[in-house]
Amino acid sequence: MNLTQDQRTSTCSQIAKYLEELRQLTGKQIEGVNGTLVRVGCYYSRWGGPFKTEKDFNHFMAPNAQQYPGHTHSIHFAHGDLSPRNILVNEDGDITAVLDWEWAGWFPECWDVVRMFTDLPSKKQMPEYAKHLRSALSNQYEREFLAMVHVLKLEPPDPRWKTIHPATPAN
């Protein structure tokens, strides 16, 4: 679907509003929807938790990292995989559905934003998506995103993790 610049901007603004709505739901610890394990990872996944603190959660994700996304975020409900492949829009760019909720749970408030920026579609697939999204989100959680990139580069995939979104060669 080819959206205009204005429609892309509008779609990203709608995503930002959905995130605000999700953040209205608060939790006490990092856990799955019903107090169960959480599924984490970007290109590999594993299950863990519940985690009493964000520090415990960060250590689970990357035990040897020197830099983490933070330890003091409040806990909110998050989709966990809010990427374009899970967002349906109509021909006007209006969001009609959000799919794929199996990664949802209670996470640090920055989780959905950081996850969205570590799993962006290619520029060929969605030109300027990252630019529109950054604008709509007012560069929220930039520090946390940079720390997560560090964590993802530092840690080799754990052999117990399974591939979820295999990387495709860039064209």
Task: Kindly state the tokens that stand for 62.
Answer: 């990357």
Give residue 165's pLDDT.
47
Q: How confident is the model at residue 141 (pLDDT cuts 50, 70, 90)?
A: confident
- In this predicted model, which residue has the larger pLDDT, 141 or 159? 141
pLDDT of 71 strictly over 50: yes
- In this predicted model, which residue has the larger pLDDT, 67 or 111? 111
Mean pLDDT, to the nearest integer, of 66-91? 89
Mean pLDDT, to the nearest integer, of 53-67? 82
Sequence-ordered alpha helix ranges (H) in the chain: 5-22, 54-61, 111-118, 129-137, 142-154
Q: Which domains does the chain have, with CATH numbers?
A: 5-156 (3.90.1200)
Q: Which phi and psi angles does 84 have, rounded to 5°?
A: -55, -30
pLDDT of 169 strictly over 60: no
Label residue 164 left, alpha or beta by phi (over 0 means left) and psi (-120 to 50 means alpha).
alpha
d(CA 154, CA 171): 25
Give residue 170's pLDDT.
45
Give residue 168's pLDDT.
46
* Mean confidence (pLDDT) of the chain: 84
* pLDDT single digits (tens) 88-119: 999 999 999 999 999 999 999 999 998 888 88
